[in-house]
Every structure is written in structure tokens, then in C-alpha cells.
Amino acid sequence: MQIDFPYHVDSRGRTAETDSEEHVRDLIEQVLFTAPGERVNRPTFGCGLLQQVFAPNGDVLATAVQLTVQGALQQWLGDRIQVESVDVSSADATLSVTVVYRLRRDGTRRTAQITGGI
């Protein structure tokens, strides 16, 4: 078992735990939502997806986010996952990121989808 992210206390009053597959999903969220420079001892960690809130939405943004997300996931989680595809779509004021990956441990194929308003 792994500590669940974001950190919280479960119904028993203990640190919440999660299984290893969900832990990898949590790690993906950490990479995507952490801005480079945010972590003191790892200044290059993350891809800064939240910083895109102020960027004009469109095809150019979607392409830039796709390259940034794929590169960050390969750099920081390449020992745990194999990224098969990153699909970024923008519609109106919403940016959706879908990551298809395989767990290196057992080859299980998973999908993580993150959607947010921009």
C-alpha cells in the first residue's frame, strides 16, 4: 500500500492509503500540476499544466501542452510507466488531457484523463 494523494485522513483516523495502480495515477497528477521551480530540491520537476490557465486556448496551446506533458511524464515517471499517447483537446474554455500508459511492473494499460477550464 502507498500513501494516497492528496494527503488526507481516512474514516479510521489514519493516513489514507491506496493501491499501487492508483498511486501511479496520483504521481501523474503530481507531475502535471506541479510547476517547474515549485519544489525546492527538484527545480525542474513538473510540467506546469496549471500555468496554462492564462494562455489563449486553441490548437497551438493543445500542441504545446501535449509535448510538455509527454516529456515530463517520460522524464519523471519513465521508470514506472510507458507513455503510449497523450491527447490534448481544446473546446471553448476547456482543455482536456488524456494520457494512455502502461505500467512497467506488469504491462497493465491505463488511462488518466484530466479536464479543466481555461
80: domain CATH number?
A: 3.10.450.40
| Helix 20-33 vs helix 59-77: crossing angle, to nearest 10 | 130
DSSP state of 28: H
> For position 42, what pLDDT does the model report?
93
The number of domains in the chain is 1
How many CB atoms within 10 Å of residue 44?
A: 10
Q: What percent of the chain has pLDDT over 90?
A: 47
The pTM for the full model equals: 0.82
Structural domain span for residue 21: 2-117
The CA-based dihedral angle spanning residues 37, 28, 101, 45, taken in that order and rounded to the nearest 10 degrees = 20
In 3D, which of 14, 13, 17 has the Cα closest to residue 1? 17
Is the pLDDT at 14 greater than 80? The verdict is yes
